[in-house]
Amino acid sequence: MVDAPAHGLAVFTLAAAAILFVGNPEPPPLWMGFAGDLMAPLRLQNQADLSRLYAGAEPWLRADDLNFINMESPVQDDRPPSGYPAFNTHTPYVVAAIQAGFNVFNTANNHANDFGWSSVRGTSQAFSELSQKYPIWFSGVRPDENERFSDAVIKIQGWKIGFLGFSTFVNQPEGKEGVALYPYQDFWGGKNLGARLEALNRVRELAEKVDWLVVAVHGGIEYDPVTQPWERRFFDELARAGADVVWVQHPHVLRPWWVVSTKRGESLILSSMGNFASDQTEDLGPSEGWRNRADTGDSCLMRIRVGLRHGRLTLEGIQPVLLSQYWDSHGEQILPTADLAQKGPVLWRGFFSDDEQRQESWAHLKGRTGER
């Protein structure tokens, strides 16, 4: 795939990772994109043209081989659509995301069982059927508690990309057995060693079977832009266990990202990509960029390039694509923040200039830790 426009942000080149690749001939590099939460408020579900929602991000989505997003709602076609606090959406909402370029879905999150087992089974059935029609993959739910949670192994261009998703909590107990759930730690830092070890063992097991492993973690403190020390420790543990990308959702705001050097090589930690699409800023006016939760409209598609170097699997480059949610009379659009700040409606340029400054500061909150 060709590189999409960078919108002024350079690709950060990293040192070679130390993961051996077994296979011949060497496959071409892969581009992967990581977004945040795809929320399903009724205002978005009822939007007349859902393709318009994604149009501003499509140049990058189309350029990537794999694009990951968190489906923050059950998908149950025989239940009416509903919004917060108990979500439900239908398959056309997912199909719009697929047609825009998203093809890997995390389905394990706190809303996965909003209506109990029927939500979990509906989501499992919907994504299973969609995967027969489209080249998509998902992880995070199971239709029966006696079934093993399935991990996705994506075979693409000679690679085997592993993907598993889990949540750290759910909103209600019914049907929680159908959600991949590892409550490794509570919000006050108390450890659950059993869940922690179970998650790490599952990562180790899948890492041995694939060339590259993405682990989705749904959890953390909502609207908190700070990654807590106990979260950092666990994310780094996942990297040491074999995760090449630790991709976190739930805070609804952007949080720092960093690179961990391990014995395997280098792993990327994305501690929150914010909301990709939501209605949490829909009621804000152009002079209210300072308001609480204005940053829930900040988003990013974190693109990475993965390739082989001297026979070793390598994280070759990282490109943050900064995006913002913009509402008009036709609904929501996800657009490049720089475009909105420079060429958007005049009344809104100050609002999105603030967004741009906040996002550019975030994009450089990267760090590197020593070998673990």
pLDDT in tens, 230-272: 999 999 999 999 999 999 999 999 999 999 988 878 899 999 9
Is-contact 106 165, C-beta < 8 A? Answer: yes
End-to-end CA distance of the chain: 33
* pLDDT(361) > 50: yes
* pLDDT(133) > 70: yes
Give residue 249's pLDDT: 98
Put the strands of the sheet holding 245-249 in their side by side order: 152-156, 159-167, 212-218, 245-249, 266-270, 257-261, 368-369
Give residue 264's pLDDT: 78
Is-contact 359 302, C-beta < 8 A? Answer: no
Give the model's confidence band at 289: pLDDT under 50 very low, under 70 low, under 90 confident, else very high: confident
pLDDT in tens, 140-149: 999 999 999 9
* pLDDT(303) > 60: yes
Domain ranges of the chain: 12-70+145-282+297-365
Amino acid at 161: I
pLDDT in tens, 27-80: 689 999 999 999 999 999 999 999 999 999 999 999 999 999 999 999 999 999
What's the average model confidence in pLDDT over 171-181? 97
Instruction: Give the percent of the chain with pLDDT over 70.
Output: 88
Give residue 287's pLDDT: 81
Mean pLDDT of all residues in the chain?
A: 88
* Cα–Cα distance, 118 to 265 (Å, whole number): 42
Convert 310-371 into a string of H (helix), E (strand) and C (coil).
Answer: CCEEEEEEEEEEEEEEEEECCEEEEEEHHHHHHHCCHHHHHHHHHHHHHHHHHHCCCCEECC
Residue spans of beta strands (DSSP E) within the chain: 12-13, 19-20, 30-38, 66-71, 104-106, 137-139, 152-156, 159-167, 212-218, 245-249, 257-261, 266-270, 275-277, 298-309, 312-328, 331-336, 368-369
* pLDDT(24) > 80: no
Give residue 353's pLDDT: 87
213-150-119 Cα angle (round to 5)? 120
What's the average model confidence in pLDDT over 96-105? 99
pTM for the whole thing?
A: 0.91
Q: How far is CA 103 from CA 62, 96, 137, 369, in A?
A: 11, 11, 6, 31
pLDDT in tens, 316-359: 999 999 999 999 999 999 999 999 999 999 988 888 888 888 88
* Cα–Cα distance, 98 to 95 (Å, whole number): 5
Q: And the tokens for 267?
A: 């792993």
Class of domain 12-70+145-282+297-365: alpha beta
Eight-class DSSP state of 176: G
